[in-house]
């Protein structure tokens, strides 16, 4: 199965993210090609609950978290389903990446179809800053630079 999101936002960030899963229960491969990021920068990258972009990225809801856990890193057991960590841009402000995730899915209870993928304005501390509530909810990853609804391709 394959899904895609076309990202746009108020910060000149745009691009495409593709999600592929060979079978239910298998890893999801995530391939992204984004432009318009600050050069040599690291940004939080998450799946948000809602596919509602009527108010721009701000109406996409919170991180997708059906198990009601604290924010964490992609490799953590305790994490939001939507916690995909960080992406990095090159010297030209482009981010071309491939990653895999074992928690999100393109079907079943943890399906991300119809939800929103978001690139944030700050680095995601992966819930490790322990400086208050924001680290356990968002990883202090800041505003939403770009977003796109995930649809079946």
pLDDT tens column, 74-99: 999 999 999 999 999 999 999 999 99
C-alpha to C-alpha distance for 39 and 110, rounded to whole angstroms: 33
Q: Which of 43, 79, 115, 144 is catalytic?
A: 144
- Give the model's pLDDT for residue 129: 84
For the chain, domains (ranges, CATH) are 2-152 (2.60.40.200)
Q: Which of 43, 79, 80, 115 is catalytic?
A: 80
Q: Which of 101, 115, 120, 124 is catalytic?
A: 120
Report residue 11's pLDDT band, with 50, 70 and 90 as the boundaries.
confident
Report residue 135's pLDDT band, with 50, 70 and 90 as the boundaries.
confident
Report residue 3's pLDDT band, with 50, 70 and 90 as the boundaries.
very high
Residue 133 pLDDT exceeds 90: no
Label residue 139 exposed, middle or buried (CB < 10 Å: 0-12, 13-18, 19+).
buried
pLDDT, mean over the chain: 95
Residue 149: strand pairing partners: 116
Q: Which of 83, 101, 124, 125 is catalytic?
A: 83
Residue 22 pLDDT exceeds 90: yes
Task: Select the more confidently predicted residue: 131 or 95.
Answer: 95
Annotation says 63 is catalytic: yes
- Give the model's pLDDT for residue 80: 97
What are the φ/ψ torsions at residue 110 (nearest 5 degrees)? -100, 25
Q: Which helix (H) or strand (E) holds 19?
A: strand 14-21
Q: Which of 71, 115, 124, 125 is catalytic?
A: 71
Annotation says 68 is catalytic: no
Q: What's the rounded mean pLDDT across residues 15-42?
A: 97
Residue 4 pLDDT exceeds 90: yes
The answer for residues whose C-beta is within 8 angstroms of residue 153's C-beta and 6 or more apart is 2, 3, 4, 18
Annotation says 48 is catalytic: yes
Q: What's the rounded mean pLDDT across residues 32-44?
A: 97
Residue 131 pLDDT exceeds 80: no
pLDDT tens column, 109-129: 999 999 999 999 999 999 988
What is the strand order of the sheet 2-7 is part of? 95-101, 28-35, 14-21, 2-7, 151-152
């Amino acid at each position: 199965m394959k899904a895609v999101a076309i990202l746009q936002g108020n910060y000149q960030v745009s691009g495409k993210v593709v999600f592929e899963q060979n079978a239910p229960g298998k890893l999801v491969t995530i391939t992204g090609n984004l432009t318009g990021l600050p050069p040599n920068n690291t940004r939080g990258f998450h799946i948000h609950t809602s596919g509602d972009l009527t108010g721009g990225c701000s109406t996409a809801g919170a991180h997708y978290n059906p198990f009601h856990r604290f924010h964490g890193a992609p490799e953590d057991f305790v994490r939001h389903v939507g916690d995909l960590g960080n992406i990095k841009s090159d010297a030209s402000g482009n981010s071309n990446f491939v990653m895999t995730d074992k928690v999100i899915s393109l079907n079943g209870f943890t399906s991300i179809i119809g939800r929103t993928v978001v690139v944030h304005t700050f680095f995601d501390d992966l819930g490790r800053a322990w400086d208050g509530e924001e680290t356990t909810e968002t990883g202090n990853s800041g505003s939403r630079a770009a977003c796109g609804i995930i649809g079946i391709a």
